[in-house]
Amino acid sequence: MLKFVVPAFLLASPAAFALNGLRPIGVSAESNALGGTGISNFYNYYDALYKNPAMMANAPGRPGQSQGVFGMTYGAFNPEVRSTTGSDQDFKKPINDTAAAFPSAFGIGNKLSSRFAMATGFYGGGGGADYGEKADSVYRAKSATKVWSLTSGLSFAFARDSSVGINLTATQVDTHASNLSPVKGVTTETGGTAYTYGTLVGWRRQVDKATFGAIYQPRQNAYIQKARDIENDGIKNDLSFTAVPSEFATGVTWREDEWMIEVDYRFLQWSQAEFLKSVGWKDQHVLALGYEYGTKNRLRLGFNVSTDAVSSRGNTDGFATSTVSGKQMINLAADAFATTSGLGVTNKHYTIGSSHELSDALKLNSGVVYMVPGSITRTGSYAPPTGARDYGWTAKFSGFTAQLDLTYLW
């Protein structure tokens, strides 16, 4: 069960519960220990490449110096889903394992000169959930997804206290899912392979003991041919979806000799996301706080909270429709996806970690993220020829991750 860096469509993955919406709070142990911050503070090239590439040009170290990052993570997730109607209203858990250890960080950066720096990072992940053939009350939801991203970036310091940066990302998303159709009562398949490409631009400015940062990332749309029978007419439709929403983020770091505090704000424009806006997603605001104490050996604490990306709702007309990739999808299917997938349920995280300089060249970092339990409920009714019927589901989630990173200078 791997942590996502780029989200996948129609994923009933426990890993996806662990995010603010679909976006991870951090990619390195240092950032995760500090609440997912990193817009205005440099931790390592791998994290800066993903969070704010402008931080790289002013990174500590001599011209020509390189840094490598490698990390491992253990994650344990606890998703549960139940029907709110019918005789079977017990919570269902996936029959597959939802805890595992996996590689979670791999990247390299180089301070090319006093003004230029560059980095390349590999971001991978995946996951899935299988509620089993007997879980009719949650439509036998099943999915498996793999995501691979390669990111490269460049940073330029146009002044001693100011820099800009940019990254370019290429991502492959391979996803396969199935569920019992709420209309026909037969198994409906979804899946395929999609590719998406994106960029992110960043800015950094230092004023005395304060460092300011900001980034902007346009949304990234992906496309799968013959992905799903959206209209239940026996024909698989092509599907476009937003893998990464438009994002604006800003942050400020204040650093003293033995301590540092950082505050980040992020805006995620899910209301313009292909597909997700059709299942009730809305714009999201995220606040991240991080505190660090120490010099060579450091203690780190953090907190990350967001508004709901997707919320509970009731009394929905299940047969009313919304447009998805030019086709009409019924609200009943949208509500089933929103609850059985559980995406965006968790929106509060407490974090803790440490950093230890094992030598002048080697540093060990840890980060633990606790995901406060969250839940979502969707209910409604529809009127097939046999008469009016109610429907509804509730999803819950909790979990944690523990990550160790090694950074090496040469």
Q: Which two tokens stand for residue 287?
A: 């606040």
The domain covering 14-409 belongs, at the CATH homologous superfamily level, to Outer membrane protein transport protein (OMPP1/FadL/TodX) (2.40.160.60)
How many CA within 13 A on the CB side of residue 229?
15
Q: Which two tokens stand for residue 52?
A: 């704010």
Whether the CB-CB separation of 253 and 261 falls below 8 Å is answered with: yes
Give the model confidence (pLDDT) of 277-296 as tens digits: 988 999 999 999 999 999 98
pLDDT-derived band at 19, boundaries 50, 70, 90: low
pLDDT at residue 86, as a whole number? 93
Average pLDDT, the chain: 89
pLDDT at residue 229, as a whole number? 81
Distance CA 381, CA 231 (A): 19
pLDDT at residue 320, as a whole number? 94
pLDDT-derived band at 10, boundaries 50, 70, 90: very low
Give the model confidence (pLDDT) of 222-278 as tens digits: 898 888 887 777 788 888 888 889 999 999 999 999 999 999 999 999 999 998 898
pLDDT at residue 270, as a whole number? 93
pLDDT at residue 22, as a whole number? 64
Which residue did the predictor score with more confidence, 187 or 33?
33
Decide if pLDDT at 135 tops 70: yes
CB atoms within 10 A of CB 236: 18
| Domain residue ranges in the chain | 14-409
What pTM was estimated for this model as a whole? Answer: 0.91
Decide if pLDDT at 17 tops 70: no
pLDDT at residue 204, as a whole number? 98
Give the model confidence (pLDDT) of 66-121 as tens digits: 999 999 999 998 889 999 999 999 999 999 988 889 888 999 999 999 999 999 99
Decide if pLDDT at 366 tops 90: yes
pLDDT at residue 241, as a whole number? 86
Give the model confidence (pLDDT) of 376-410 as tens digits: 999 999 988 778 899 999 999 898 999 999 999 99
Q: For residue 260, what are the contacts with CB-CB under 8 A and spacing of at least 6? A: 41, 253, 254, 290, 291, 292
Give the model confidence (pLDDT) of 166-180 as tens digits: 999 999 988 888 888
